[in-house]
Amino acid sequence: MVRSLLTFVPKPPLLLSNKPILPLTALVCRHRSTWRCATNSPAPGPPSTPLASTKSASTPSVHNHYRPARCASISRQTRETSVSVTVDLDGTGQCDVQTGIPFLDHMLHQLSSHGLLDLHIRADGDYWIDDHHTNEDVGITLGMAIAKALGDKKGIRRFGHFVAPLDESLIEVVLDFSGRPHVEYGLQIPTEKVGKYDTQLVREFYMAVAGNAQMTLHVNQRAGLNSHHIIEASFKAFARAMRMAVELDPRRLDSIPSSKGALTDDVALQN
């Protein structure tokens, strides 16, 4: 029996403005020959013994296929904001976010939980002006981290589609990690605020994420009356569509899902 080895490799703490944040830790899972991202989560136990497979040894499998980890960390600082994001596309929905914008934190929890993304986000910004800069820059940095984690997008399903209900609201999200950033935004939110959150910032967030993750994104509203429900349903649909798109396709693990053979803007990944 091959014994699995788990090794923790600490990273130095990150700073947002003058505020120290919790150190990020990378977990090496040697039994999968890949890196895993973790942020102050308890160490996992040894992997369980897999059940004997009834398939032939030549059958492709996402689980036994050696591949680089799909997690990334990005830090971005301007004169207006300081944002740090770590994302694991193959996570379990662990979420530790503090953006300074409570409603945005709530929506990011939906994205993590329903998209099965592990998210660690810290942000500090010029809140005395308004939440616009921080909201947008969190979206920019998250999009950059997603693009970096996807790499050349080899093996992904690429397209995602989901329709999410929340009471009277019904929101459809369709996306494509095409390398061609574009957003069609069709939410009709009836109020200017949800709590203290400016509802115009929802569109700005989606624009920022899509532009920097290099995705085509369509957000359509089929029904809805309550502002909170409309926005939350959109994040849930976005999460599930993204989960579908980034999942690995066992039939094309070693190929890029494009007839032209590329889906990546290499310049963007250098940031």
Q: Which DSSP string do the residues of 85-102 spell out, in sequence order? A: EEEETT----EEEE-S-H
Q: Please give the Cα distance from 109 to 104 (Å, whole number).
A: 9
pLDDT band at 154 (very low <50, low <70, confident <90, very high): confident
Q: What is the pLDDT of residue 153?
A: 85
Q: Which CATH architecture has domain 6-40+69-246?
A: 2-Layer Sandwich (3.30)
Categorize the per-residue pLDDT at 255 as very low, low, confident or very high, splitting at 50, 70 and 90: low
Q: What percent of the chain has pLDDT over 90?
A: 62
Sheet holding 95-98, edge to edge: 71-77, 81-88, 118-125, 95-98
SS3 8: strand
133 pLDDT above the threshold of 80: yes
Amino acid making up residue 213: A
Q: Where are the alpha helices (DSSP H) in 28-116?
A: 102-115
Taking residues 218-224, report their average pLDDT. Answer: 98
| Residue 126 neighbours by CB distance under 10 Å | 14
Token pair in block for residue 254:
């070693």
pLDDT, tens only, 76-129: 999 999 999 999 999 999 999 999 999 999 999 999 999 999 999 999 999 999
Q: What is the pLDDT of residues 34-75, one digit of tens each?
A: 335 654 444 434 444 343 344 444 444 544 445 668 999 999
Which residue spans within 11-117 are E strands per DSSP? Answer: 15-16, 19-20, 25-29, 34-38, 71-77, 81-88, 95-98
